[in-house]
Structure 1
Amino acid sequence: MFNRQSNAYVTWTLLVVTIGLYLVEVLSGGSQNASTLMTLGAMTNSSIQTGDWWRLITPIFLHLSIFHIFMNGFTLLYVGQRLEPMVGHWRFFTIYMLSGITGNLASFAFGNENAISVGASTAIFGMFAAFLSLALIYRENRFMTEVGKSFLGLIVINLLLDLFMPSINIWGHVGGAVGGFFLGYALSLPGIKRPKMIIRILALVVIVAISYYMYARGMVVYG
């Protein structure tokens, strides 16, 4: 039931692309060089307001330091090799990317106007929350319940740590978690008719509504 596709090749592809882009950063002027980061696709609130919508996507693959990419890369590999076989390749890719985008939208709507946003942590929080939603859907499964508790703990602990680290964009993490949670309900597991279709549709509606609100708020605040 929970191991339909054993090869996590989407996870590995995402990791390779992320590492490759970090090397490009280093060779192009440095991973902490603001000009280099913006050229490669980093996000600022003003850049989205002026029409660079694609910067809601590209920051997912950019990182500031060896430690930054190591932590996110390790987490991507660890969680991805467990989540991707469960939900399938395209579902996993969708959860990862859309969670990253909802996280960046939350940063756009509520974050620091002048901050440069990069990092896969928005998408990683989405993976954590997707596990949580699956645990709620399949709560009779002991494995899923235990895994869900573990990832709920990771979400809470990391958000608490964010409160004491002003350099961390907590809104991006919250937005990524919200996106991943509802995507878990919308996509669920392949070949299993749970949750009901109406719940899946409602979850999609909620994601679209929240995303639109955050985009509209960001455009008003920084317009």
Structure 2
Amino acid sequence: MAKGKMTRILMAINVIVFIFMTVTGGSENIENLLRFNAMSKIHVYQGEWWRLFCPIFIHIGVFHLLMNMYFLNSVGDTFESLYGSKNFLIIYLLTGVMGNLFTYAFGEITSVSAGASTSLYGLFGLALGIMFNYRDNEFLRQFGSSFIGIVAINIIYSFMVPGIGITGHIGGLLGGFILAGFFPIMNMPLPTSTKIIAIIAFGLIAMGFIYIGNRSVAQVL
């Protein structure tokens, strides 16, 4: 399979950001993480909404970066070939934001989090959505089902290992599953009704997470 251009660009951005963080204070330094706009519920509540987006490109330590880039390199090309570079990028970013919105709603108020894993779980959720939306296509159904074990193992791992942002993973997974009903695989259109339901569901859930997050922070501050 040809290497996806957008996948390579996303990997490069992650590495470049990590290098900048390393030479300006460290990628595991809380102050530096906040300076680079890592996810923080309090800061989002105070109006810094870009922190729902920026953490997608920030990593906490070299192992965190290498692990996520390994997975992005492993699955990114496949999804980019299925959806095209433009839609792949949109899905990648939107699922990352949904993951951080889930963290805003249900994460610890004092936690600082970051990582491309919100978007990577979004791709896993996308695969599960493909299995559902293209269930009459045997190849795509099997493709989607091949991710069930990967998702299960990674979710269990996220619960077992301290410090992993499970809320971001769940939110990204949910976002990807929903967006599979809006973004069609190239040359394989989805019913208009399915697309309408998907985009409305995505918007309503996102607004619900914002409402829950606002209330959870307001009760503490």
Same fold? TM cut 0.5: yes
Instruction: State whether residues 134 and 188 of structure 1, in contact with CA within 8 Å, keep that contact through their aligned partners in structure 2.
Output: no
Task: Judge conservation of contact 2:52–2:100 (CA < 8 Å) in 1.
Answer: yes
Amino acid at match of 2:87: R
**Match for residue 81 of structure 1?**
77
SS in 1 for 2:71: helix
Letter of the 1:201 counterpart: I
1: CA distance, partners of 2:16 / 2:51: 18
Q: Distance in 1 between matches of 2:128 and 2:39?
A: 28
The two structures have a TM-score, normalised by structure 1, of 0.94
Unaligned 5+ segments in structure 2 are none
- The amino acid that maps onto 2:124 is F
Match of 1:213 in 2: 208
Q: In structure 1, what is the Cα distance between the partners aligned to 2:17 and 2:128? A: 30
Deviates more, 1:91-100 or 1:132-141: 132-141
Q: Displacement, 1:7? A: 5.1
TM-score under structure 2 length normalisation = 0.95
Q: Are 1:151 and 2:147 counterparts?
A: yes
Residue matched to 2:176:
180
Select the residue among 87, 98, 101 that pairs with 2:97: 101
Gaps of 5+ in 1: none
Asked if the contact 1:104/1:172 (under 8 Å) is kept, the reply is yes
In the alignment, is residue 200 of structure 1 matched against residue 195 of structure 2?
yes
Please show how residues 15-164 of structure 1 align to structure 2 within 5 Å. 15-164=11-160
Whichever residue aligns with residue 94 of structure 2, its letter is L
Distance 1:129 1:143 in 2: 17
Shift of 1:157: 1.4
Taking only aligned residues, the RMSD between alpha carbons, in angstroms, comes to: 1.3
Distance across 2 between alignment mates of 1:213 and 1:189: 28
In the TM superposition, residue 141 of structure 1 has moved relative to its aligned partner by 3.3
Residues of 1 paired with 2:25 and 2:211: CA distance?
34
Q: Distance in 2 between matches of 1:66 and 1:197?
A: 43
Tell me, what secondary structure is at the counterpart of 2:75? helix
How far did 1:188 drift? 1.7
Check whether the contact 2:133–2:180 (CA below 8 A) recurs between aligned residues. Answer: no
**Alpha-carbon displacement from aligned partner over 1:182-203 (angstroms, at most 9, x marks no partner):** 1111112133222x10111100
Q: Separation in 2 of the partners of 1:71 and 1:60?
A: 14
